[in-house]
Amino acid sequence: RKEVEQDPGPFNVPEGATVAFNCTYSNSASQSFFWYRQDCRKEPKLLMSVYSSGNEDGRFTAQLNRASQYISLLIRDSKLSDSATYLCVVMNYGGSQGNLIFGKGTKLSVKP
């Protein structure tokens, strides 16, 4: 089983739509969780951290379910500028010095 799994998409949605991405991770000892955004041919950039209590940043809401080892990202009122690939990222302490494990990403395309 891969460490971090995501639906690759693409998700094609109209402007204004609400879209949700899911991610599962295999290591129950994982400690920290993130969503990164990667635009085409660009470097990944941190979108938001994911906390156990859930957290919101404007139109973006992230949720973590440790029991199910499941992370989600909800985007409300989608904008054209939200088109990108969204990477689910997990950090495990110990071993490789707390390095990040990346999912392959979910591609989102928001259409006018």
Given the rule CB under 8 A, which residues bind other proteins?
A: 4, 32, 34, 41-46, 49, 87, 91, 93, 96-100, 102-105
Structure tokens belonging to residue 88: 């689910």
- Give dist(CA 18, CA 2) in Å, integer: 28
DSSP 98: S
Q: Is 80 helix (H, G, I), strand (E, B) or coil?
A: helix
| In the complex, least distance from residue 46 CB atom to other proteins, rounded to whole angstroms | 5
Kindly state the smallest distance separating residue 6's Cβ from other proteins, in Å.
9
Name the token pair of 72: 């989600």
Closer residue to other proteins, CB minimum distance, 26 or 96:
96
Kindly state the smallest distance separating residue 84's Cβ from other proteins, in Å: 14
* Token representation of residue 40: 């085409």
Residue closer to other proteins by CB (options 44, 82) is 44
Q: Closer CB to other proteins, residue 81 or residue 97?
A: 97
Write the single-letter amino acid at 87.
Answer: L
